[in-house]
Amino acid sequence: MKLFCVGLNHRTAPIEARERFAGHGRSVTFLREGGCAEALLLTTCNRVEVYAARERELTTNEVAAALQVDAGDIEPTNLAAFYRHEGIACAHHLFRVASGLDSMVVGETEIFGQAKRAYEQARAANEAGALLHRLFQRAFRVAKQVRSRTEITRGSVSVGSVAVELAEKIFGDLRGRKVLVLGAGETSEKTLRALASRGVSDLRVSNRTPARAEELAAELEGIAVPFGKWLEQCREIDILISSTAAEAHLLRPENLMPVLRERMDRPLFLIDIAVPRDIAPEVNELDGVYLYDIDSLQSIARETLELRRQQVAAAEAIIDEHVADFADRIERSVRDEMRAQRPETNVAGALRTSEL
């Protein structure tokens, strides 16, 4: 039996190709009928990959056909988008994928959960056997080690998640915190959703156009606040996300100071996403006020990404170590199996071992 992996990802194929070969309910069955003793499909928004143990040669074309969602011919350009890893290279590839090294955002951890779910499903459906079991268990171990021994998953790489990370360091637990969104926009909405996903439940929206505030509030299960009253709201809230189209600073030390006095030293986290800025930079000098504008959030995200990139070499070293060890173990167990089953045909056993 031989391990192999065939697939395409965000680097080798555009979304049009990835959705065409996204796989479907019968894909694994096709593969197994085509000569795979074990087969597993890993599909995410950035990749479609088949991990399988085959008993006979299986062309990339055949795998592509099994993955194809619609009818029609597979063009050579589509086929060129597929990569293929055989034997130990397949293990190497999966270890990198599971550790987040192959992801669009290096070090993201979502792929770990996706791989885990794919494996569990295949296991439950009896489509993954002993070989894939060992491969994936090892991949999960590697990914955990990479996560704990390097800093590759550290920090946040988007404006929304940086904001959440900062909020958690300022407030500790985010549950029960109150947040006000001033103005509207894609980034502020994303940031708001990111905060909501970490337990912020009291959402307030204020906009010069009341209808827009109502709309967003309804969508996020928050409440709309009249635009004239946003400064009063600053007495109660913990986080302010501001993204209005105002020309001048809305929040300045002069109008914030009286509000702060009533806040009894509760910290205030100000996120200014607007350009030109809504909040005067001097506000950051006030005690207990943490002001971040879009530039500082983005530069934190960039620095984190840079830090992650610097960690890639260390992660690769861990992976290489595991790949070598994994190859060793598989070879040994195949040899042991051979010896146990048919001690007389050592030549055949050695041949099959060298295949892996």
Partner 1 sequence: MLRSLLALRARVFRRSRFNFAAILLGFLLQTAFLGLRGHALGRCPITNLFEVLVFFAWSIALIYMVIGPAYRLSLMGSFTAPLVFALQSFALLAPIDLPGAVRVMPNAWLEFHASISLIAYGAFALACVAGIMYLVQERQLKTHELHSIFYQLPPLPNLFSAMLRLLWLGFALYSAGLISGFFTGEPLPWTKVMLALAVWIVYAAILFGPRLRSVAPRRVAAFCVAAFAAALSLLWSIEFVAHHA
The binding site for partner 1 (CB under 8 A) comprises 151, 154-155, 166, 168-172, 261, 264-265, 267, 284, 287-288, 290, 292, 296, 299-300, 303
292 vs 326 by CB, closer to partner 1: 292
Euclidean distance between CA atoms 292 and 295, whole angstroms: 8
48 vs 318 by CB, closer to partner 1: 318
| Amino acid letter for position 353 | T
Shortest CB 235 distance to partner 1, Å = 14
| Amino acid letter for position 42 | L
Active site residue 45: yes
201 vs 296 by CB, closer to partner 1: 296
Using alpha carbons only, how large is the chain's radius of gyration in Å?
27
Shortest CB 286 distance to partner 1, Å = 9
169 vs 339 by CB, closer to partner 1: 169
Shortest CB 154 distance to partner 1, Å = 5
Active-site residue among 5, 36, 45, 234?
Answer: 45
Parallel, antiparallel, or unpaired: how do β-strands 268-272 and 289-293 relate?
A: parallel
Q: What is residue 50's three-state secondary structure?
A: strand
Q: Residues 263, 295: contact at Cβ < 8 Å?
A: no
Q: Residues 137, 326: contact at Cβ < 8 Å?
A: no
116 vs 198 by CB, closer to partner 1: 198
Shortest CB 181 distance to partner 1, Å = 21
Euclidean distance between CA atoms 83 and 8, whole angstroms: 6
Shortest CB 161 distance to partner 1, Å = 13
Burial 96-134 (b: 16+ CB within 10 A, else e): bbbbbbbbeebbebebbebbeebbeebeeeebbbebbeb
Euclidean distance between CA atoms 188 and 177, whole angstroms: 17
Catalytic residues: 45
